Chains A and B, each alone.
Chain A
Amino acid sequence: MKRILLTFLLVTGCLCGSLSLAFAEEGIADPASSVPPTVSQVAPAPAPALAAVADPTGALTGGIADVVGATAGAPTADELAAMAKSEPLAAKLGDVIGHNRIAINMVWLLVCGFLVMFMQAGFAMAEGGFTRAKNASHTMAMNFMIYGIGILGYWMCGFAIQMGGCGGVPTLGGAGVLNSEFVINLFGKDFGLFGTKGFFLSGTYDVAVYAIFLFQMVFMDTTATIPTGSMAERWTFKSFVVYGFFITALVYPLYANWVWGAGWLSQLGANFALGHGHVDFAGSSVVHMTGGVAALAGAIVLGPRLGKFKADGTPNAIPGHHIPMAIVGCFILAFGWFGFNAGSTLAGGDFRLAVVAVNTMLASAAGAFAAMTYMWIVYGKPDISMAANGLLAGLVAITAPCAFVPSWSAVLIGAVAGVLLCLSVFFVERVLKVDDPVGAISVHGVNGAWGVLSLGLFADGTYGDGLNGVKGTVTGLLYGDSGQFLAQVIGTLTNIIFVFVVMYVFFKVLDKIVPLRVSPEMELEGLDQSEVGVTAYPEFNLTKTHR
């Protein structure tokens, strides 16, 4: 255990060291005044500036100031100030109305966060079902412990890196204390790299900050649990624990900062007139592509399971042990996804969430149907495991564009995702010769990329006014904004390069210190006994009597 902790500290230290070097070289200082208070997901109208005062009880959060911008006809700050003198009762009622607005938003955010948390159960069941009985405890243990490890890693430093400089969340009426982003200046423009406030949630004892912590944390954990699928059935638990802290505390939060925490990708629009910057409504790239690319790096370093490929390189089928469990897992994921996407309005009062929820539903249906049809035509059977993957592929793809497209686009995006998934699964297995037991690379990586690119194509300009500090709505290539598509391409390439390089190097280095792979004997025996000490299905063995 000492060795693991040491490794973690070492890797963390190296990364922090190199970043502070950049700080010194670029010579940019004063993170406090760096980034204007914007967030990626915005209210429909300009919101009042958020005070950088922590509010631990919530007594100061949600008041008359939050009436401003609530609707198109809402009074302006000036009108409210003028009215307060002549109509004191109206001002008091306005305070209550503002409070209720924030209350609805916060409850919506938290309930959706709880739904996303339940997706952990979906991942556990899907991955557990698609792997073999002899490794079932081990697969479940990874999916279970990434929840605990993820929360702690994110609390220690992930949240601060991601959201420490976001400038607050107007729809929650607060979190203005998150006002410190580390920025470098290139070509005369500011590039936000990471937040610096809220390590261990210190200095941010604030109701809005805590709400956003919960919501962002469960998103992050979705990423962290994706590679456990591609690396299942052969990964040592020790090195998994180190990985868990690394991705939740550092890798995910950095990219998430660039897109959602007022970082440089979100500012491509404001700085370089590329649409609204890299737009990812609920996380096709931030959450899923990050997980999928990390899954690819991990599966490459780890190598295929014993017996996966014949001597001539053709793949063998290694059927999962519990298809019904995997299918239920996919259903749970689809259910949680409503929280994932519709919750990303960050506001119960933003009625666009109805469009988001319907698009989510449609894309998942199209993805499942397309994958089923493809398998039926090409392989003669409506393969249910691929259809279930297709459902998830549709969900992953619609996650970025769900708020910006009409229903026909959602169906098209989902259908393309379903077919893309099948092609990708076979490409990964037959061409790359990478063993991915559950299809995580194809579901999350490939379709995450398709999702953010599809936003750049299909966004129809009906939503997103003022997003990332850019006036006007989000418009894709097919509706005339090539800049938006370019921003999506930049965001996609950045993710692939950054995540792959960092995770590949991390796994290679970690392998030298804490070996990633179990011994061949243990792998043949099953990882349940050797790695986690408990057999998932002991009744199948004739080793016990009843007394």
Chain B
Amino acid sequence: MCARVESFVEPLEQIKRRWPEIAAALACARPGRTWGLTQTPVPTLRVGEINITSCYDREREAALQASRIPEASEEAWVYGVALGDLQRVLLSRPALQRLHVVIMSRAVARKSFEVVDHPWLADPRVTLHYGSVDNVREPFVCAPASVWTAERDCQSLRDRLLTALAAPMIRAFEARQAASIKRALAANVARLAADPDVETLQGRHAGAECYVIAAGPTFDEVVEWLRPRVAEGVVVAVNTAVLPLLRQGIVPDYVVAVDPAEALVKHFEGIPTPRALADVPLVYAPGLHPRVLAAWPGTFVKANLSVPIYRELCPHNPRGVLFASGTVTHAAVDLGVWMGARRLCLVAADFCFPHSRSHASGVSTALPVTGPKIFTTDGSGRSVPSTLNLVGYRDELVRYLGRVEGVEFVRVGRRGAAIEGVEFVEGAP
């Protein structure tokens, strides 16, 4: 039982009457961050290092946010409590009959209830939710800073919300990719007619231990652990990991590349020992840029991908289809499963930026870790910066792994983002 906070009065009393379970959950929330009201043109609540609303014009901001909900809508979902401005604007609409407000962080909501009045809590049209909503319900609007400060249990919902908000941008990116893929398919016609299909690899390594190696920052921490083990297993590397592996004297058995970007060629330029790769197949998506294919010094195996653009443009060639949903790591894992791995070890598949780095040392496409980040937890339960894309790929991988039977999935690289259902190899870094 936790102590009651003295200043925690009217809003909690209202919540206690209407939603006693939520009141109990709020009363036990741990602050965990620094708090305060800003001394700005309009005061707002500051949580850690961010303002929870505008500190110049809260009313105008709330009106803008509310405009996401059609005026005639009878129902609306608000994710995040903020300071209640958005709720007030929506409830001023005569058409609105049901307003669902979802708490994304008990600590932030509780502090907000402490510092400002929340008369919307008394409105009979309001239903307050905590912990019972795990999907994006329409029509919805976010009190964005309350979503960015989501507590751990609400981070999966946070990611879905942010993905939904980014949908127009994702569609634009996919449209640009589609144009590149179409050009590459035309240029790769002869190769696609001649190269063996990934179908031919089915069951090739039945019962094997397979290492799927990405080029996340934890690569540098796990490579010494990896070195003596790879000789006994099958090594599937994503394109980004080729140079880091070769620099460590490890030659992969297979390399996977799926991204249609021409920039991938950087991963195959300047390979120190190209002859070592002479018999190593590049398992490639049919829309891979021709320059990337030309730069590969080994052999080739074509593979289709489980994405709409390939289903539309080349549904029958290649015949073998690998799972992919945004990252080459998906296809590399599915290749290991396809070839019959009994145990599949994920290496440096980090989906985050441990040590504020994007990749292993020496990866030519490494980026400075700037721009908008979200936080997720690493394999040891620590908070670690990531991006919406990366946690989305991680979540897609989790869903894929849930569909695979008969394969044990493990991993190394404890500073990587936690992957539900995948345990760390005991004693490994």
Do A and B pair up? The answer is no
